[in-house]
């Protein structure tokens, strides 16, 4: 009886630990998506790229960010339309909408931006696999 009780307690604690890590991964996803989009909104594109871009995409992202900055891109607002985290697969996706203008025009345009995220182990957290949208 004692062995059975110990086994049940051990199983329950392992299940709770598993659920807690899945919840932590999901919460980390939401925080990363919000922080990344907030950085873009406040013209911190380089910081967004170095913090949240996957290593193999970072150079390309920073080149594109530099071109957008030279073109006079200004993001005026953003909305996260949807987000979906799949903790078991260590992936997630978000769809956002940005309101922006490119100087010398003052006409506000809106663009949808689909973001593909991946969770990296070893404390690296959530990283973005998709580049910036084509602001035209």
pLDDT digit string (tens) for 114-128? 999 999 986 789 999
Of the chain, the percentage scoring pLDDT greater than 70 comes to 82
Nearest one of 46, 76, 57 to 117, comparing CA atoms: 57
Of the chain, the percentage scoring pLDDT greater than 90 comes to 75
Q: What's the CATH number for 2-128? A: 3.10.450.50
For residue 95, pLDDT over 50 is answered with yes
Q: Using 50, 70 and 90 to split pLDDT, how confident is the model at 104?
A: very high
Q: How far apart are CA 77 and CA 38, in angstroms?
A: 9
Q: Using 50, 70 and 90 to split pLDDT, how confident is the model at 17?
A: very low
Phi and psi torsions of 103, nearest 5°: -60, 145
Q: Which residue has the higher pLDDT, 86 or 13?
A: 86
Sequence-distant (≥ 6) Cβ neighbours of residue 108 within 8 angstroms: 76, 99, 100, 101
Q: How do the domains of the chain map onto residue ranges? A: 2-128
């Amino acid at each position: 009886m004692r062995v059975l009780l110990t086994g049940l307690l051990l199983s329950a604690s392992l299940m709770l630990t598993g659920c807690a890590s899945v919840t932590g991964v999901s919460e980390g996803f939401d925080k990363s998506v919000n922080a990344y989009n907030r950085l873009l909104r406040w013209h911190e594109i380089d910081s967004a790229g170095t913090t949240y871009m996957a290593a193999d995409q970072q150079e390309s992202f920073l080149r594109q960010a530099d071109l957008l900055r030279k073109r006079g891109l200004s993001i005026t607002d953003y909305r996260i339309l949807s987000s979906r985290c799949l903790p078991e697969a260590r992936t997630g996706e978000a769809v956002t909408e940005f309101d922006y203008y490119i100087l010398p025009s003052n006409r506000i345009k809106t663009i949808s931006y689909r973001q593909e995220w991946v969770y990296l182990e070893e404390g690296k957290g959530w990283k973005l696999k998709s580049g910036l949208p084509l602001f035209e």
